[in-house]
Amino acid sequence: MKKALITGNRGQDGAYLSQLLLSKGYEVYGADRAGDSGLWRLRELGIESRVKETYLDILELTNIMDLLEKVRPDEIYNFAAQSFVKMSFEQPILTAEINAVGVTRMLEAIRKVRPAARFYQASTAELFGSTGSAQRNETTAFHPKSPYGVSKLYAHWITVNYREAYGLHASCGIMFNHESPLRGGEFVTRKITMAAARIKKGLQDKVHVGNLAARRDWGYAREYVEAIWRMLQQPKADDYILATGRSHTVREFAAAAFSAAGFKLEWKGRGLAEKGVDARTGRVLVEVSKEFYRPAEVDLLVGDAAKARAKLGWTPVTKFKDLVALMVEADMKRLEIQ
Ligand code: GDP
């Protein structure tokens, strides 16, 4: 039986990957510093009792070394991160400690304690950060636009460096935005799907968002963890873009979400005065608020996953509208259960 250690396993990707590996017969160890909180995702997936939860603080090298000695994992997936772009402007140093130096600690511990283990690092489209319409691939130059992106850039290169310098089987997945019903409510997608469901049920009036014109390449997280697992099954470690190749605006996301909840949104006004209005009643459902704008914005992100398709045999299947609809549906269902 293979053993996997997943840091940040209570997050969206960690939870889906835990489920996938359990279905493949792995013994799955989750590593988190969150105490008892955040187990809701594992609970929803019905795997809470099957994941062996351990304590890990990625800021503490000794913690990591002890855990590797104890668990002796064959595969290590690192999702532990401060993963909010906006918060990284407010906590740039903590973000670097966790996302950048934290990965160095992981790699050092692996090199010393468990060098045969295979390692996955969660890189991100935020490494590119730049605007323009061309799709990003593995050869596009990086130019991150937030402390989060910069911290992840360090993590990306230190992972490549340990692969080249010490021969570790260490791979990075440069993941474009990937969403699901398990996405945290701080991200714009889930924030909107939750709001659409709550507004439909009369529990909320409207939702405030930031830049409606931002475009993202949104895929379905459940499909992305399959590619992550395949990366670690390759004879040689490498880095891969994971993306759908299509982008949509936040405005389009909101329209699709409200449509899935039974509303037809119409857009009125411009800039901060733009509003999403219920076409039937004229009621304002979406408003723009400065609070959700960022000091530096990534206007557009779209990725080219041709390499993952060719080498991993991976293609994302779920279409944008279906993804939005399944998120809204899940949020509606949760409200019914409550
Ligand atoms: P990110 O791509 O990892 O930063 O994921 P987010 O879901 O947090 O943000 C995606 C895009 O939506 C960014 O360009 C944000 O500026 C934009 N956006 C617009 N309104 C909001 C909002 O209310 N919350 C968040 N989180 N993002 C918003």
Give the CATH number of the domain where residue 31 resides: 3.40.50.720
* Residues 332, 307 share a domain: no
Q: What are the backbone angles phi and psi of residue 299, rounded to the nearest 5°?
A: -70, -35
Averaged over 271-294, what is the pLDDT?
A: 96
Instruction: Name the DSSP letter for residue 272.
Output: G
**Residue 37 pLDDT > 80:** no
297 is catalytic: no
- Annotated catalytic, 148? yes
Q: Which of 127, 308, 176, 130 is nearest to 230 (CA)?
A: 308
Q: Are residues 210 and 223 in the same domain?
A: no
Ligand 1 touching residue 250 (CB < 6 A): yes
311 and 263 inside one domain: no
Q: What pLDDT band is residue 131 in, cutting at 50, 70 and 90?
A: low
Task: Provide the CATH number for the domain around residue 330.
Answer: 3.90.25.10
Q: Both 268 and 207 in a single domain? A: yes
Q: Provide the pLDDT confidence category of residue 338 given band limits of 50, 70 and 90.
A: low
- Asked if residue 163 and residue 22 are part of one domain, the reply reads yes
Measured in Å, residue 186 CA sits from the centre of ligand 1 at 8
Claim to verify: residue 94 and residue 199 sit in the same structural domain: no
Quickly state the pLDDT bin for 298 (edges 50, 70, 90): confident
Does residue 132 sit in the same domain as residue 39?
Answer: yes
The verdict on 127 and 241 lying in the same domain is yes
Q: Given the CA of residue 211, which atom of ligand 1 is nearest to it?
A: 19
pLDDT of residue 43: 96
Q: How many domains does the chain have?
A: 2
**Does residue 112 sit in the same domain as residue 204?**
no
Report the distance separating Cα 165 and Cα 115, nearest Å. 12
Mean pLDDT across the chain, nearest whole number?
A: 95
Examine the domain organization and report whether 7 and 33 are in the same domain.
yes
Burial class (CB in 10 A: 0-12, 13-18, 19+), 198: middle
Q: Ligand 1 within 6 A of 15 CB?
A: no
Asked if 147 and 262 sit in the same domain, the reply is no
Domain that includes residue 165, residue range: 3-180+219-245+302-316
Both 22 and 167 in a single domain? yes
Q: Sort strands 52-55 and 75-78 into parallel, antiparallel or unpaired.
A: unpaired
Catalytic residue of the set 7, 95, 124, 159: 124
